[in-house]
Structure 1
Amino acid sequence: MSSAGNAGQIIYKAFTPTLKMALCILSGFVTTKAGMLSPSATKGISLITMNLCLPCLIFGSMVSAFTPQNIAAFGPLVLVAVMYEILGLLCAWVVREIAWVPKDFRWGILVMGVVSNWGNLPTAVVQTMAKEAPFDPAVDVDLGVAYIAIFVLVMNTTFFGLGFHKLCAWDFTDDHAAEDMLPFKQRWRARFERLQRLLGRRKQPRTADAEIAIADEAADEAADHVSATLEVPLERVDYRPAAESIATSVTRVGTQRGDAESKRTKPRKRSFTSRMEATPRILATAPLDSQATTAAESVQLTSDKGYTSGSVYTRGYGAEPVAATAAGAPRRARKWAAALLKEIKNTPPPTWAVAVGLPCSLVSPLKALLTDVPGWTGSRMPNAPDGNPPLHFILETAIFLGAIAVPMALVLLGVSFARLTVPSRWRDLPLTAITLMTLAKMVLIPVFSVFVVQAMQKNTGLFPPEDKIRTFVAILLSGTPAAANQLVITQIYNPAGTAHTLASFLLLQYSLMFIFSTALAAIALYIVAS
């Protein structure tokens, strides 16, 4: 067959799963617009899908596919997943520095760079493409889903386990509302001057006139820059208070060295650790569709007690009051136990599925209870009367329930798009930031992954050529859009219950997904087939 025929086959194979995803998303969009799915109904469906069906899919795939021989893929895939998260964070930071980002998304854009949709979208592609050559349908379908579960584990650990989702709340706190409002040039000039003063290389301006002069200059340059390049109506954005705040803070750092006040550390509200501690945690089981979530429900979804719906966004970051107890401070062991219990309660079910699936996949006696294991089944582990392993019905049930996870998650994604609201005027959107962020997640990171994975395949044993599905998954998951869970978390943390800016970013990414994902899948298929 000619090379053109091979290229046509590859493109068609890559386009088919993308079309299947598009139809599922479209069905959710249409049924919602037609009024056939109420918010309460979709909320219940999302909870069932996330907390029951998806864990069953992960568990069934891992037990069926993982063996002591191919578990070696766990380390390389974790390495690649972390690498994608770090690269996404750097890209988001660069976009925030060089382009205008609304003040309700200056921290959320960093979250978007890190977390990606590593669940339903790539699973749908793998389940379709792994059924045909050059893959082995008998093994690679389940193995591909199991490999994707490793990425899901890394994403959940970062987003929920490490508390990265809390950054979504920082866009709505009073002490962050005016941060980073100056354009690129003024921000970095202030930072450079502060660095110089900290290093003792520049004399401190000591008069109030000098502080006002710096503030006025920064404000004027900010207004000129925004008016000339960003085309943002100046009457809607007041840059002078931000300029005064930043210029004043820059001027006062390191002054009055002989004064005891200048020797104090930064206020607690400026500490990253204290911000994370003061921001309430959202349960990892938050529904995918939260449009109907009320303020009271938002409080119930937080795991930290003692917060009201208003305190989520406006509370100070000062010292927390400590309740006095008769026994004094609790012992360290009790603190660790309480912290461990808290983390266990907030661990999402998909992560539990991975934690349970790994030993059941690798420990022969446990695996022999569920599925056939050479040397154990029928001999050291007697079969049930039906000729199957004793607990084979558990594995069958998990696979049966897991089969509906991916299509229902795609339908719910269409439901979320049907209920999104974005600004009606194009000039109100941060078009430059939206475009750059989309190109970073859908083009830049995938191109980087193609070269890196191919280099690992040739120079290391991390991606052996015979394990085609491992290489395919590693490349495919580099170009997925941002995670839809961020939409839920942002709506919960926002007092208004909306996420309009985030929605505008998501809409472009998911709209172009059908083009970029098809191209990336075709490239990955070509690499593993060659």
Structure 2
Amino acid sequence: MLSAGALIWTSFRPLLRLVICTASGFVITKADIFPAVAARGTGQVILNIAFPCLMFSKIVPAFTSQNVHALGPLILVAFIYEALGMLLAWIVSQIFWVPHQFRFGILVAGGWANIGDIPTSVLMSITGAAPFQGTTDQNLAVAYISAFILVFLVTLFPLGGHRLIAMDYVGPDIEPEEVQQAMYIKRRSWVNFWIRMIRKASLSATRMHSSDSSLEDESRDSDNGDDEKYDDEKDAVNPEHQHPAAQLHVSFHDDATTTEPTELGIVSRISSVEPTLIGVETRLNHIIDTGLHPNNQSILPTTSVTAVDTALPKSLPPPSKNRHIRVLRESRHVLKSFLNPPSISIFISLPIALIPKLKALFVEVPGTYIHPGPDGQPPLAFIMDTCNFIGAASVPLGLVCLGSALARINVPLNRWKHLPVGAIIWLAIGKLLLMPVLGVLICQGLVKIGIIAEEDKLLRFVCIHLRFFSCLPTATTQVFLTQVYSGTGSAEHLSAFLIPQYFLMFISMTALTAYTIQLLF
């Protein structure tokens, strides 16, 4: 077992490499050496060349028929983490106000974390040294990460996660003050609802208590019968002796205190003196209920459907055929989304890794003989060497681009009072402090029910540590998508959410890594 000092250093050391690479990209961007055009070009190189080569070079030698079963738990854990992250973000958005053009983007910020560069860099550093088994565990850890990356790509693009970002910019924007007022009304209604529920619960408890004492009251009624009869006779003689509640009445006659109707409405003694705030909610509901085109052009209202139908030619296909065409078009779009270089690399690598004859063409496979090349290596070993060489550039270049993206984030510090501080703070706390705790509990529960093998410590480490994916800040991919869909090239709302998360990342990563190593070893 490692000492406390060795455990902390082992956990913190991978972050030093991460910080140095990220800081390099930050510095050269601020020095105007690495412009936005160069950063986008580098990102394309990483996405289409370097990262697919890294996946191929790690998956082929790492996966075998003995450990491929780990893909099932990894994919399950990845979906659970994304669902929990989106649930957390939704809860935050229901309690704290969020800018109107970030109302759906906060769900993406909670569900999709910055996978790829950061976890690959950290896991390769940790698993490459004791207490792990060096290169073998290093390759297998990166291969395990590929399952998370595949889920990330599939859910964000083919399954339409990126459309949530586009939905933020459908229709006109709503001023932050109006959104804050609507959230204030919602919170006040919640408070009133729970107050009513508590009062009802206390009243029902009181009634139950009174019903329990009813038997005692019946026994007393016989004793008090004469007294009640005497009181009735007394009330008949003297009406002023009746119960005070019987004297209550409501007067509707005008008097000197009655306020005349004004242009703003009628104010009376029995009505609220505060105007009813419905304008904000009505506007929000109108924007949600009426579909708007991304070009801010409203769709024709339903009342004009008949007129439009009469003006259209009679040769249009029936609605069922139109629906069939839309389904085919959508299916084609989903299939195209799968055909991105990282996904293709994973789909090609897995069959090669699991078929011994194919795998022996690239790497040596015990028990499988393939005639070697002139250098004594497998015939296609040069492909593996090339993929290793190119793939090695993926992580450092990705971290440099991450630093460049952070350098271009503009946080309006002079408008801090106007930012959604509550949502920013609690999303950061939830993603980087609360979610890692839930991740450990989930993975330990999966071990107890047998979904994750207890003896496979590397798999457990990756699953817990890729609660790491919840322990990671929001994906920088969302920055690029927001810049595209916003139409202005800015991501002002997202930037304010990112900065606190990257500050907390170093604390949460170090603590989670140290705890996981202590738990497993």
Q: 2:232 matched to which residue of 1?
A: none
Which one of 335, 338, 352 corresponds to residue 344 of structure 1?
A: 335
SS in 2 for 1:370: coil
Residues 312 and 493, structure 1, Cα contact 8 Å, conserved in 2? no
- Normalising by structure 1, we get a TM-score of 0.74
Query: What's the offset of the Cα at 1:324?
Result: 9.0
Residues 158 and 333, structure 2, Cα contact 8 Å, conserved in 1? no
Q: 2:294 matched to which residue of 1?
A: 312
Q: 2:224 matched to which residue of 1?
A: none
Please show how residues 366-515 of structure 1 align to structure 2 within 5 Å.
366-376=358-368, 378=369, 381-425=370-414, 426-457=416-447, 459-478=448-467, 479-515=471-507
Query: What's the offset of the Cα at 1:270?
Result: 3.9
Using the TM superposition, name which of 325-334 and 176-185 deviates more: 325-334
Structure 1 residues 360 and 327: alpha-carbon distance in aligned structure 2, compared to 1, 3 A threshold:
farther
Structure 1 residues 281-302: Cα deviation after superposition (integer angstroms, max 9, x where no partner): xxxxxxxxxxxxxxxxxxxxxx
SS in 2 for 1:502: helix
Cα separation, 2, equivalents of 1:144 and 1:26 = 25
Unaligned runs of 5+ in 1: 194-208, 220-239, 250-266, 279-310
- Normalising by structure 2, we get a TM-score of 0.75
Structure 1 residues 176 and 364: alpha-carbon distance in aligned structure 2, compared to 1, 3 A threshold:
farther
Using the TM superposition, name which of 487-496 and 325-334 deviates more: 325-334
Structure 1 residues 409-463: Cα deviation after superposition (integer angstroms, max 9, x where no partner): 0010100111111113221221111110001110111001112212322x23333
Q: 1:19 matched to which residue of 2?
A: 16
Structure 1 residues 130-169: Cα deviation after superposition (integer angstroms, max 9, x where no partner): 0112211131101000111111111111111111111112
Structure 1 residues 417 and 313: alpha-carbon distance in aligned structure 2, compared to 1, 3 A threshold:
farther
Q: 2:98 matched to which residue of 1?
A: 101
Residues 97 and 179, structure 2, Cα contact 8 Å, conserved in 1? no
Query: What's the offset of the Cα at 1:500?
Result: 1.1
Which one of 507, 510, 514 corresponds to residue 518 of structure 1?
A: 510
Matched, 1:186 2:185: yes
User: Residue 71 of structure 2 aligns to which amino acid in structure 1?
Assistant: F
Cα separation, 2, equivalents of 1:324 and 1:352 = 44
Cα separation, 2, equivalents of 1:489 and 1:77 = 26
User: Residue 124 of structure 1 aligns to which amino acid in structure 2?
Assistant: S
Residues 218 and 243, structure 1, Cα contact 8 Å, conserved in 2? no
Q: 1:225 matched to which residue of 2?
A: none
Please show how residues 31-110 of structure 1 align to structure 2 within 5 Å.
31-110=28-107
Which one of 5, 8, 11 corresponds to residue 8 of structure 1?
A: 5
Structure 1 residues 457-494: Cα deviation after superposition (integer angstroms, max 9, x where no partner): 2x233332332221111112221111100011111111
User: Residue 418 of structure 1 aligns to which amino acid in structure 2?
Assistant: A
Which one of 128, 139, 143 corresponds to residue 142 of structure 1?
A: 139
Which one of 17, 24, 28 corresponds to residue 25 of structure 2?
A: 28
Using the TM superposition, name which of 165-174 and 443-452 deviates more: 165-174
Cα separation, 2, equivalents of 1:66 and 1:112 = 31
CA RMSD of aligned residues (A): 3.3
Query: What's the offset of the Cα at 1:403?
Result: 0.5
Structure 1 residues 495 and 332: alpha-carbon distance in aligned structure 2, compared to 1, 3 A threshold:
closer
Cα separation, 1, equivalents of 2:345 and 2:287 = 38
Residues 369 and 391, structure 1, Cα contact 8 Å, conserved in 2? yes
Residues 491 and 499, structure 1, Cα contact 8 Å, conserved in 2? yes
SS in 1 for 2:128: coil
Residues 86 and 114, structure 1, Cα contact 8 Å, conserved in 2? yes
Cα separation, 2, equivalents of 1:324 and 1:407 = 59
Using the TM superposition, name which of 146-155 and 343-352 deviates more: 343-352
Query: What's the offset of the Cα at 1:48?
Result: 0.2
Which one of 271, 279, 295 corresponds to residue 241 of structure 1?
A: 279
Aligned residues: 431
Using the TM superposition, name which of 481-490 and 390-399 deviates more: 390-399
Query: What's the offset of the Cα at 1:84?
Result: 0.8
User: Residue 408 of structure 1 aligns to which amino acid in structure 2?
Assistant: L
Query: What's the offset of the Cα at 1:507?
Result: 1.2
Cα separation, 2, equivalents of 1:354 and 1:15 = 30
Cα separation, 1, equivalents of 2:497 and 2:89 = 12
Structure 1 residues 159 and 217: alpha-carbon distance in aligned structure 2, compared to 1, 3 A threshold:
farther
Q: 2:164 matched to which residue of 1?
A: 167
Query: What's the offset of the Cα at 1:218?
Result: 5.0
Structure 1 residues 199-228: Cα deviation after superposition (integer angstroms, max 9, x where no partner): xxxxxxxxxx99xx99x7552xxxxxxxxx
Cα separation, 2, equivalents of 1:372 and 1:331 = 54
Cα separation, 2, equivalents of 1:325 and 1:137 = 71
Cα separation, 2, equivalents of 1:327 and 1:57 = 51
Structure 1 residues 384 and 270: alpha-carbon distance in aligned structure 2, compared to 1, 3 A threshold:
farther
Using the TM superposition, name which of 476-485 and 179-188 deviates more: 179-188
Cα separation, 1, equivalents of 2:345 and 2:332 = 18
Structure 1 residues 384 and 9: alpha-carbon distance in aligned structure 2, compared to 1, 3 A threshold:
same
Structure 1 residues 325 and 382: alpha-carbon distance in aligned structure 2, compared to 1, 3 A threshold:
farther
Structure 1 residues 106 and 389: alpha-carbon distance in aligned structure 2, compared to 1, 3 A threshold:
same
User: Residue 387 of structure 1 aligns to which amino acid in structure 2?
Assistant: G
Structure 1 residues 259-297: Cα deviation after superposition (integer angstroms, max 9, x where no partner): xxxxxxxx99749xxx7xx9xxxxxxxxxxxxxxxxxxx
Structure 1 residues 179-216: Cα deviation after superposition (integer angstroms, max 9, x where no partner): 965444633787999xxxxxxxxxxxxxxx99xx99x7
Cα separation, 1, equivalents of 2:507 and 2:288 = 44
Cα separation, 1, equivalents of 2:83 and 2:173 = 24
Using the TM superposition, name which of 62-71 and 385-394 deviates more: 385-394
Q: 1:258 matched to which residue of 2?
A: none
Which one of 348, 351, 354 corresponds to residue 356 of structure 1?
A: 348
Query: What's the offset of the Cα at 1:336?
Result: 6.5
Q: 1:120 matched to which residue of 2?
A: 117
Cα separation, 1, equivalents of 2:280 and 2:288 = 17
